[in-house]
Amino acid sequence: MAKRIDISGLSAFYGNHKAIEDISMTVEPRSVTAFIGPSGCGKSTFLRTLNRMHEVTPGGRVEGKVLLDDENLYDSNVDPVTVRRTVGMVFQRPNPFPTMSIFDNVAAGLRLNGSYRKSELNDVVEKSLRGANLWNEVKDRLNKPGSGLSGGQQQRLCIARAIAVEPQVLLMDEPCSALDPISTLAIEDLIGELKERFTIVIVTHNMQQAARVSDRTAFFNLAAVGKPGRLIEIDETERIFSNPSVQATEDYISGRFG
């Protein structure tokens, strides 16, 4: 169920501004790939091109190819709605639907895709909440609004919502940046479990986090403010943090820059 992503020659624009330039890389299935780099280097933009969320931003457009197991996401006959259904996403700030209950939040994606019997829905919701390590905390209040949970619980609810539709890939855009250390730890543990089933790409500002959760790490940088961001290198996380092949990466990781 997890798929490989092959990106080649990808550039993304906001209107006339080029945010990222000519990125090519491969994201391995059933592994965690972390994107690191200084602010404004386009790593979040790049992440959003992987499920065609970038084009939702006014003026956003993309050049290049993103192959999901040999199928180009940007082919003219590909429906972005199907892409987003296949490539799930978790955002920087937890964003459960405020007017919906916990149950409805998790079931929202399934309900979009057709009618389910109540028992089926119950099964999937329970499985997803268990998958997000949230079941034990919320099983007695599934009908309470999702906005009543703590920040970390809300984020796990969003993860449960994303995995309920069984995507091939899970994109995470700084999922812990709005959370306290304990909640962060819970999410990191969860990521370790989820990679058994999904291809996971995570953007993070926190290098320790990248080192802790990821198998491979990609470092992005930009030549100057206003210039597009570029991929500097991608490699095994261990190598990136111990013996990177590019000087800029080492500077960044050792804190001499950024």
Q: Smallest distance, Å, CB 146 to other proteins?
A: 11
- In terms of DSSP bridges, do strands 5-14 and 60-68 run parallel, antiparallel, or are they unpaired? antiparallel
Give the footprint of other proteins on residues 200-239 (CB under 8 A): none
Does the annotation list 40 as a binding residue? yes
Q: Smallest distance, Å, CB 178 to other proteins?
A: 11
Question: Of the candidates 182, 172, 131, which has an alpha carbon nearest to the alpha carbon of residue 152?
Answer: 182
| Terminal-residue alpha carbon distance, the chain | 37
Let me know: does 139 contact 149? Beta carbons within 8 Å: no
Q: Smallest distance, Å, CB 115 to other proteins?
A: 10
From candidates 7, 62, 73, 142, binder to other proteins by CB under 8 A: 73
2 binds other proteins (CB under 8 A): yes
CB-based burial of residue 112 (10 Å sphere; 0-12 exposed, 13-18 middle, 19+ buried)?
Answer: exposed
Contact letters for other proteins, residues 52-71 (x by CB under 8 A)? -x--x-x---------x--x
Give the footprint of other proteins on residues 96-125 (CB under 8 A): 96-100, 108-109, 112-114, 116, 120, 123-124
Q: Smallest distance, Å, CB 65 to other proteins?
A: 13
Let me know: does 178 contact 151? Beta carbons within 8 Å: yes
82 binds other proteins (CB under 8 A): yes
Does the annotation list 37 as a binding residue? yes
Does the annotation list 42 as a binding residue? yes
State how far the Cα of 149 lies from the Cα of 165, in Å rounded to an integer: 22
Sorted by sequence, the CB contacts under 8 Å of residue 139 that are 6+ apart come out as: 126, 129
Residue 138 φ then ψ, to 5°: -120, 0
What CA–CA distances, in Å, run from 239 to 38, 138, 218? 19, 40, 11
- Residue (113 or 143) nearer to other proteins, CB: 113
Q: Which residues are annotated as a binding site for ATP?
A: 37-44
Binding site for other proteins (CB under 8 A): 1-2, 29, 51, 53, 56, 58, 68, 71, 73, 75, 77-79, 81-86, 88-89, 91, 93, 95-100, 108-109, 112-114, 116, 120, 123-124, 127, 131, 147, 158, 161-162, 165-166, 196-197
